[in-house]
Amino acid sequence: MIAAVAASGPDLLDIAGNRVPEGARVGYFLTRDKVRIRYGLWSRTGAVHRGTVCLVQGRTEFIEKYFETIADFRARGFAVATFDWRGQGGSDRLIGDKSLGYIDRFEDYWCDLASFHAEILLPDCPPPFYLVGHSMGGLVSLLAGIADRMMFDRIFLSAPMLGLDRQPLSFGGMAKLCGALNFLGLGQMPVAGNGSQAASEKTFAGNPLTSDQRRYLRMAEVIRTRPELSIGSPTIAWAAAAMRAMAAAGRDSFPGQIRVPVLMLAAARDVVVSTSVTEQLGLRMRTGRHMVIAGAQHELFMENDAIRGQVFAAFDAFITEQSA
């Protein structure tokens, strides 16, 4: 189903507490199935040239959330290329209710990434290419490592969405249940009980994302300033697609299909995705491994300075291995 609803223009929101990194090139590209995607590019800073980081986000996220992280990668000598997934951020929304997260098939995210690689990365960005994926983007990144092992030299993942704890059924069972509801015409309905209160100073205590209040409130201010960047609950169709993808990632054959070097970082205090599932995959991968960051919550790139320091130290060591 492609019934794209146009989002706002490609410009990036620049506010006092979250400045756009200098030198941004922003625009749209069309995917192979004609969905309009917002993207941003930044060249490296300094004389060191280390290639390009392709940064892919989690569900609900958008380019503006990663300005600080983009600056960190640039300071290390990397160009940075990133985009908003279809259905969120500044990219086309796919259903009439633009506040809901919707997807027809999880493979459509792979279409976004493959189109970005062909249309933007290859012609406009310096190699080698390193894929950095957070949460939902982490699962898409692993699918990329299976679908085309030549696209990216290495894959670095932050709290990848490989499983969810406390599900009443297996991922396969949940996929069948959500798929049946989707078949009955309920695919565009929000998942029950998944509404959330807008982020604010009052909601910081006990939030599942980060222990860093400054970064938490910074994103709350971005969303208050431009609420159309955000989405809320996932739809039943999104849940069906995501459950099928997580069920596939849990199959015995999945680890051996990944032929690209991978490092997965899991958050010890994650209550959004399953850390134990990430650990299990890390132990079974032939070309990858995992680390668990003590004290960290789900959004590792939005965590406090000490945790972010560990994340970037792991990234630096992982990339350096290639030239060792």
Sequence ranges of the domains in the chain? 25-323
Give yes or no for residue 1 having a pLDDT over 70. no
Which residue bears the tokens 């609900």? Answer: 60
> Average pLDDT, whole number, for the chain?
92
| Closest of 23, 25, 21 to residue 10, by C-alpha | 25
Long-range contacts of 251-259 (CB under 8 A, 24+ apart): 254/146, 254/281, 255/281, 255/284, 255/285, 255/286, 255/288, 256/286, 257/146, 258/142, 258/145, 258/146, 258/285, 258/286, 258/287, 258/288, 259/145, 259/146, 259/149, 259/287
Residue range 203-254, pLDDT digits in tens:
999 999 999 999 999 999 999 999 999 999 999 999 999 999 999 999 999 9
Per-residue pLDDT, 2: 45
Separation of alpha carbons 223 and 156, rounded Å? 27
Per-residue pLDDT, 193: 61
In sequence order, the 6+-apart residues with CB closer than 8 A to the CB of 300 are: 134, 158, 159, 265, 267, 293, 307, 308, 311
In sequence order, the 6+-apart residues with CB closer than 8 A to the CB of 32 are: 111, 114, 115
Average pLDDT over residues 172-180: 87
Per-residue pLDDT, 3: 47
Does residue 190 sit in helix, strand or coil? strand
Would you give the end-to-end CA distance of the chain in angstroms?
A: 46
Domain 25-323 has CATH 3.20.20.70: no
Per-residue pLDDT, 90: 96
Residue range 242-287, pLDDT digits in tens:
999 999 999 999 999 999 999 999 999 999 999 999 999 999 999 9
Cis peptide before 128 (omega within 30 of 0): yes
Residue 276's identity, in one-letter code, is S
Q: Which residues pair with 267 in a beta bridge?
A: 293
- Ordered alpha helix ranges (H), the chain: 67-75, 107-116, 122-124, 136-147, 171-181, 213-225, 236-249, 254-257, 275-284, 305-323
When pLDDT is cut at 50, 70 and 90, the band that residue 32 belongs to is: very high
Does residue 187 sit in helix, strand or coil? coil
Separation of alpha carbons 154 and 266, rounded Å? 17
Which residue bears the tokens 């995705």? Answer: 273
Which residue bears the tokens 């933007």? Answer: 120
CA 248 and chain centroid, separation: 18
Per-residue pLDDT, 183: 87
Q: Taking the CB of residue 192, how many other CB atoms lie within 10 A of it?
A: 8
Average pLDDT over residues 90-108: 95
In sequence order, the 6+-apart residues with CB closer than 8 A to the CB of 215 are: 68, 302, 303
pTM, 2 dp: 0.94
Give yes or no for residue 122 having a pLDDT over 60. yes
